[in-house]
Amino acid sequence: MAQRAVWLISREPGTPFCGTVRFSRRYPTVEKRAKVFNGASYVPIPEDGPFLKALLFELRLLDDEEDFIESRDSCSHINKTSVYGLLIGGGELWPVVAFLKNNMIYACVPLVEQTLSPHPPLISISGISQGFELLFGVQDFLSLSQKNDTELNTKLNQLPDLLLQACPFGTLLDANLQNSLDSINFASVTHSQKQPAWKVGTYKGKPQVSISITEKVKSMQYDKQDIADTWQVVGTVTCKCDLEGIMPNVTISLSLPTNGSPLQDILVHPCVTSLDSAILTSSSIDAMDDSAFSGPYKFPLTPPLESFNLCYYTSQVPVPPILGFYQMKEEEIQVKITVNLKLHESVKNNFEFCEAHIPFYNRGPITHVDYKVSFGQLEVFREKSSLVWIIGQKFPKSMEINLSGTVTFGAKSHEKQSFDEICIGGTAYLKTGN
């Protein structure tokens, strides 16, 4: 799907319209299609001035506007989608995708290939999601290594040429504008193989493939016989392939360590060309058995230029890496806490960092803490009503650590305090991270 027009507007309070159009691009061929598809409900793309005023009015960014306007601010017009309708020239320009980020308004008008009266469901308009993707790509390009207005102006001057590559005739091919910039830099290179539309530019240099695996253990431990503890590993494999050629073919193979648990619920990047059916059918919903596929996991692919997430997966582990016990007793304006943590013997006792967060919701600020800790140090965040137990880079030789103490709270104020509808009274939790 295509875009009818794109705008970048800098937020500037004090100017006549509280903003200035820094960049705009219209696509006449897409506009002709919109006129045919929309029929009697068609509203043409306005000039920058009327569009700017209408958009700032809808976003409540005009300095001299009234506090409440029925047509925009009533309960029946609550907007939760960043998709707006602008009243321009007696008609409604819809849908307008727009959002404000770092004093810059990013906006576009997607093509809708049907009548606009009544408004079709947003989920049926694929141009809206592509419009968001385009605007986020422009935002990422402008914010990358930007230090001052001079660099911003330089990047704004590059946008016309970049959009010719990334979004020709209003159709998004690549939301990564840095790829388009690289393509322009390599424009003099002749290609014997046809360049695919989704891959803009080629790599020149030493071939290398970088792979990074990140795993997070999600574990909930209740220390109750009637409630079973739960835990699961969620992993991400990130790749960056610097390879010469238009369509290089790569196969990345992942093998489990000794006694490693099989990967499940695997989701792969679209650049993966084929997969063993056993990889796709391994699910955490099914009970674990000896027939579960344990690799090696091979991913043949044609990689893009940028870094990408090759796959996501889940995995079951026999026990959580850290076993914990947390008890809290409330006495008027005080709570007594007891925390015991034990590192499992199968886990290597060496981290970049390890800490435990102990939030106290629905209470006033912390006024006093009397505590005893067997290892590490405790930091108190009084206004946030939370404690952070900094364990460090390893546990002691005993693999067990303890924290006990009494926390005193002040009266609740009208200032914003930590709030949670579930953590009321003695219901609380402790969260560890490393």
CATH superfamily of 208-315: Mu homology domain, subdomain B (2.60.40.1170)
Domain borders along the chain are 2-182, 208-315, 322-433
The average pLDDT across 157-177 equals 89
The residue among 288, 278, 284, 267 whose CA lies nearest residue 218 is 284
How is 49-99 classified by DSSP, letter by letter?
Answer: HHHHHHHHHHTT--TT--S--HHHHSGGG---SSEEEEEETTEEEEEEEEE
Q: Do domains 208-315 and 322-433 have the same CATH topology?
A: yes
Looking at this protein, which amino acid is placed at residue 389?
Answer: W
Mean of all residue pLDDT scores within the chain:
83
* C-beta separation of 305 from 276 below 8 A: no
In tens, the pLDDT along 148-162 reads 788 888 889 989 988
* C-beta separation of 323 from 221 below 8 A: yes
Helices and strands (H and E) in the chain: how many = 7, 19
CATH superfamily of 322-433: Mu homology domain, subdomain B (2.60.40.1170)
* C-beta separation of 44 from 90 below 8 A: no
Residue ranges of alpha helices (H) inside 25-125 are 28-38, 48-58, 70-73
In tens, the pLDDT along 210-223 reads 999 998 888 888 87
* C-beta separation of 49 from 61 below 8 A: no
Q: Which residue has the tokens 């914003």?
A: 416
What's the pLDDT at 66?
Answer: 55
Alpha-carbon torsion, ordered 293, 295, 300, 301, to 10 deg: 80
Q: Which residues pair with 2 in a beta bridge?
A: 171
Instruction: Compute the distance between CA of residue 248 and CA of residue 244 in angstroms, rounded to an integer.
Output: 7
Correct CATH for 2-182 of 3.30.450.60, 3.40.1160.10, 3.40.50.300, 1.20.910.10: 3.30.450.60
What's the pLDDT at 189?
Answer: 44
The residue among 421, 403, 427, 410 whose CA lies nearest residue 330 is 427
Q: How confident is the model at residue 188 (pLDDT cuts 50, 70, 90)?
A: very low
The average pLDDT across 180-192 equals 55
What's the pLDDT at 68?
Answer: 56
Instruction: Compute the distance between CA of residue 267 and CA of residue 313 in angstroms, rounded to an integer.
Output: 7
| Cis before 120? omega within 30 | no
Instruction: Compute the distance between CA of residue 4 and CA of residue 15 in angstroms, rounded to an integer.
Output: 27
Task: Name which residue leads in pLDDT, 239 or 259.
Answer: 239
Within 8 A by CB and 6+ apart from 47, the residues are none
CA angle 201, 207, 208 (to 5 degrees): 110
Q: Could you tell me the pTM of the whole model?
A: 0.48
In tens, the pLDDT along 290-323 reads 456 777 889 999 888 888 999 999 888 778 888 8
Residue 278 has pLDDT above 80, yes or no: no
For 308, the token pair is 């990408």
Q: How confident is the model at residue 353 (pLDDT cuts 50, 70, 90)?
A: confident
Residue 194 has pLDDT above 70, yes or no: no
